[in-house]
Structure 1
């Protein structure tokens, strides 16, 4: 009788860096933290929905109580964020991460290199105005809007976003972490611009008006006015 020999293989692990938000924690008061988080998320809900995040507790010189840290994590999850790691002063906070079943990232030692993503080749074309309350998502594609984007609208793309009219509302390019994309419009009036998780709100835009190009320079979002 021949005995079949079965070769068992373990999982084939792949090293892959995932685009995530680094969330600075500046207070351990749950109500204050929840309020701060709500204000941030309300600026760009699509940018944060089900998004992985790293809690940065480097503002604290003493270990955060585990019960308090657990409450902060619960608040993140109620806002549909997915906390998966902690960062800060390793000697102080490493045990805290282990106690709440989070990974540890040594972000202070230098940001890891981002994985080279496949280029975006498809394009979604929108010819009608994007109205208030409307959301458009160009998955695995660039987004070309031949009209205007109204206040209160949200346009999202894994690639570039080009608007041939006025851009109001929110524009989120590189939604899956692609940093080499841009947002270009004929009239910059946006409430928020985001590229690969880095965003800037209207109050922080540089002075200027008219046509604009938005891009990433290192870890900063730059808005260049073209007129």
Structure 2
């Protein structure tokens, strides 16, 4: 039964699409974690300073004790980021999250779920595409078979605005401003300047691609692999480009 709407309620509660980074811990070393994250924040403060992050412990052979996890969380805070939860894992992870007073974020389960009955497995390596594909028209990359028809956004995406195309490609016929985000579970096509962030394959599709008519991005990402730009390389700035994954490396080339 739906709760009746009361205009005197103290707040509205809704679930929505939010951008959360994932910090995958490879060893229990709070000092090393802090140093690495501080380096990332210094390299791209607009992207990572005070960024909301989920701590992923699934790649550790043994789940750390509460004190060690608390030290890791403090390392994240010291680096200038804000831990908001733990990545979904085992029942032990769930119990740990309850003890630490943190939520479990299920979004990250599919990419990093441990193998059944054994220690955490490495994330599967996506199948590499050809190293030097021939340039192709912007509309030539088909969406995966499970995708719906593309979502269209007509006009510019303003700073602070986020557009998310769930289970489909996203086509933007305008510019994406600094501080704006466009996200799609499939491919992204931008018929204009990209000055903000574009994230394709948001649910882990490593075959997704990003196509941009005028490349000046803050960040591009595919299936969680990203590149941040403090300064665009001269050969890419203002060019029509495509972005794709080769293994775990995100590549960018002129069309």
After TM superposition, the score normalised by the length of structure 2 is 0.57
Change in Cα spacing, 1:146 to 1:44, as seen in structure 2 (3 Å) is: farther
Structure 1: distance between partners of 2:152 and 2:48: 22
Structure 1: gaps spanning 5 or more residues: 1-19, 87-96
Cα distance, 1:84 vs. partner? 4.5
CA RMSD across the alignment: 4.2
Matches within 5 A, 1:178-189: 178-189=205-216
Q: Distance in 1 between matches of 2:176 and 2:225?
A: 21
Native 8 Å contact 1:128 1:147 kept in 2: yes
1:168 corresponding residue in structure 2: 195
Rounded Cα–Cα distance in structure 2 between residues aligned with 1:44 and 1:130: 21
Whether 2:38 is the aligned partner of 1:36: answer: yes
Dislocated runs of 4+, deviation >2 Å: 20-27, 29-42, 48-58, 63-66, 68-71, 73-86, 99-104, 111-114, 203-207
Which residues of 2 match residues 51-200 of structure 1 at below 5 A? Answer: 53-54=56-57, 67-73=67-73, 79-84=83-88, 104-107=119-122, 111-112=123-124, 119-200=146-227
8 Å CA contact retained: 2:158, 2:180: yes
Q: Which residue number in structure 2 is paired with residue 213 of structure 1?
A: 242
Q: Secondary structure at the match of 2:67?
A: helix
Superposed CA deviations along residues 165-220 of structure 1, whole A, max 9, x for unmatched, are 11111001111111111110111100000000000101486552211100011111
Residue matched to 1:222? 251
CA contact (8 A) 1:169 1:191 kept: yes
What is the number of equivalent residue pairs in this alignment?
186
Answer with 1 or 2: which has the greater Rg: 1
Q: Check the 8 A contact 1:21/1:197 in 2, yes or no.
A: no
2-side partners of 1:186 and 1:203: how far apart? 19
- List gaps (5 residues or longer) in structure 2: 1-21, 98-112, 127-143
Residue 22 of structure 1 corresponds to which residue in structure 2? Answer: 24
